[in-house]
Chain A
């Protein structure tokens, strides 16, 4: 038989040894070091997209969209603080450090969040005047590194967030490469300029939940019991970590799932450590309910929140509010297609740029390069963030009304069903078209 007439097989890429995996093997072989990057998990894991809302028909009575009111206000820190935080919307800006982000980016976050009636959060680099100045409500993170930590800034905060873990790297620290350690960043962190800055993974002066309780007492005594104390944990053992945070005296628990972003850490950590955000919420809520403090100790959920539907779903599962990080950066202008040619020069493309630790961000957001920083207009970027937050809120309200609720907090698991077995099990809501979810007896 003429060999030219034999049909050729189509080359099949290995699912195990895919092109991205092979490229990483080659990169590791060439450099001898694991990949460090920013951003959050990119792999597909069960997510809010795997849930659907059950709008009202006969058995439930919807509210009129655009006419009947659906409240969005949220109060955080009602347990012990004399001055709880009151926000117009249940969407907050997650902690992102000055150093990881440029000054104009921090200013834009403050402008946008304040215009939308919500709070921003500091990060590993301490509190900057421009951030405090432009944020109506500012949460001050108390981090393992304690860079720039001082009691004067502590008292300027509207809330204090004790960071125990982060969703992108629960149990891990960070690595900010020397290129981003500018004079100002080095001074704020008491570090030599140009070194690779290693962030600590654990608080140096306490070692467990009993110590945390005493640490929170100290912070309250320093700030006169005025402001709420949040405790932020990475989503790994949400039931127990939430319960212990409550036991330690938290006013608010912040729970960050594995889709949460980071400035810089190992890719293997980002993609292989932690639980999907969806899987974290119900165990955390269960812990709060078992302790009789659900809604008394508020729960903020973060990690891959992108739309009003995500907001509504998180709240239906029991969260009091959500926090956004990566989404806020995109709203400011990160990974914008208008910088495509420059992303190409960096060996990447729009939507995939994640080398935030290198300080070369063409959008001027995750950089300390003075020339790149000029590209971000904080007023215009703040306006974009404000618009985005408003849209998310409108979307969540629309869904809540359709489910018959006059406050986003009235959303409940019964408003949801799941498209997949995995999502049904994690969210503990019925598989679509059934009244069953894995783990529920009696089907």
Chain B
């Protein structure tokens, strides 16, 4: 286990050390102490290492992650796992707005609640939120899965494309072109896998599925009021 004191040694040293690791390094487990809400912690990682942040983070923790597993033992600021490509990011506490924004792949697990715009413009990432999510989540979401064990706020999935949303609790309102959809066996299987990987104690059958009605995929003036 490598321990890095962020307060004492600075952000640049941390990120350059983590980014330089490759598959042959033995330094596969890292612990970051004294994060104190710093921004851009453990961004741009590109090897299958395990990083534990001992405390809460600021903006963009684990941004553009590839392959690494990053665990935040606290809450995460805005944009956690922004544009993640692969790997896993786990937030033990709550996450601020834009969690998993534009993510292309990998798994983001938020053990607490996520604020507004969780999964905004997501492009293939899987996100599991154990608690609730705020408004405008998955706006313009293109691909991937957003699983919410609690409730969802206003305008879920507004203007979404092929992303799937699974919500166990209530949905305050659905956004433009987002509808409830049939929960078929293949969706149960997808959800079962995601819940297991996220360590979530919930039954897939308890969830409802939402997604695009695909009525706004091509512009039609008669739909103008929906925009």
Q: Which of B36-44, B127-135, B185-193, B200-208 contacts A (4 or more CB under 8 A)?
A: B36-44
CB distance from B162 to the nearest CB of A (A): 6
Can you list 19 A-B contacts (CB < 8 A)? A146-B123, A150-B85, A151-B83, A190-B123, A191-B142, A192-B217, A195-B217, A200-B140, A204-B102, A204-B120, A205-B79, A205-B101, A218-B39, A218-B63, A218-B82, A221-B11, A221-B44, A222-B64, A224-B19
CB contacts (< 8 Å) of B44 on chain A: these are 151, 221-223
CB contacts (< 8 Å) of A175 on chain B: these are 219
Asked if B165 is at the interface of the complex by the 8 Å CB criterion, the answer is: no
Known: A204-B121, A205-B79, A214-B58. A178 touches B161 (CB 8 A): no
- Judge whether A192 and B161 touch: CB under 8 Å: yes
Q: How far is the CA of A18 from the CA of B19 in the complex (A)?
A: 61
CB within 8 Å of A: which B133-173 residues: 139-140, 142-143, 159, 161-162
CB contacts (< 8 Å) of A149 on chain B: these are 83, 102, 104
- Judge whether B39 and A195 touch: CB under 8 Å: no
- Judge whether B39 and A214 touch: CB under 8 Å: yes
Most buried by B among A205, A214, A217: A205
Contact of A145 among B64, B82, B121 (CB under 8 A): B121
Q: How far is the CA of A204 from the CA of B159 in the complex (A)?
A: 14
Asked if A211 is at the interface of the complex by the 8 Å CB criterion, the answer is: yes
Q: How far is the CA of A205 from the CA of B136 in the complex (A)?
A: 12
15 new A-B contacts, CB < 8 A, other than A32-B222, A146-B102, A217-B39, are: A32-B221, A146-B83, A149-B104, A175-B219, A190-B143, A196-B219, A204-B120, A204-B121, A205-B60, A205-B101, A206-B98, A211-B78, A218-B39, A221-B15, A224-B19
Known: A190-B142, A221-B12. A214 touches B40 (CB 8 A): yes
CB contacts (< 8 Å) of A206 on chain B: these are 78-79, 98
- Judge whether A150 and B39 touch: CB under 8 Å: no
A-B contact count (CB 8 A): 105
CB distance from A184 to the nearest CB of B (A): 16
CB within 8 Å of B: which A84-127 residues: none
Contact of B221 among A31, A200, A222 (CB under 8 A): A31
CB contacts (< 8 Å) of B24 on chain A: these are none
Closest to B64 in A: A151
- Judge whether A204 and B98 touch: CB under 8 Å: yes
- Judge whether A214 and B218 touch: CB under 8 Å: no
Known: A31-B221, A191-B161, A218-B43. A205 touches B16 (CB 8 A): no
Asked if B71 is at the interface of the complex by the 8 Å CB criterion, the answer is: no
What does the 1/0 interface line of B89-112 toward A look like (CB < 8 Å)? 000000000100110100000000
CB contacts (< 8 Å) of A200 on chain B: these are 121, 140
B residues adjacent to A (C-beta < 8 A): 11-12, 15-16, 19, 39-40, 43-44, 46, 58-60, 63-64, 66, 78-79, 82-83, 85, 98, 101-102, 104, 117, 120-121, 123-124, 139-140, 142-143, 159, 161-162, 217-219, 221-222
CB contacts (< 8 Å) of B101 on chain A: these are 204-205
Q: How far is the CA of A204 from the CA of B101 in the complex (A)?
A: 7
CB distance from A227 to the nearest CB of B (A): 13
- Judge whether B104 and A205 touch: CB under 8 Å: no
What does the 1/0 interface line of A11-55 toward B look like (CB < 8 Å)? 000000000000000000001110000000000000000000000
- Judge whether B102 and A196 touch: CB under 8 Å: no
Q: How far is the CA of A192 from the CA of B142 in the complex (A)?
A: 9
Q: How far is the CA of A205 from the CA of B101 in the complex (A)?
A: 6
Known: A204-B120, A205-B98. A222 touches B63 (CB 8 A): yes
- Judge whether A33 and B219 touch: CB under 8 Å: yes
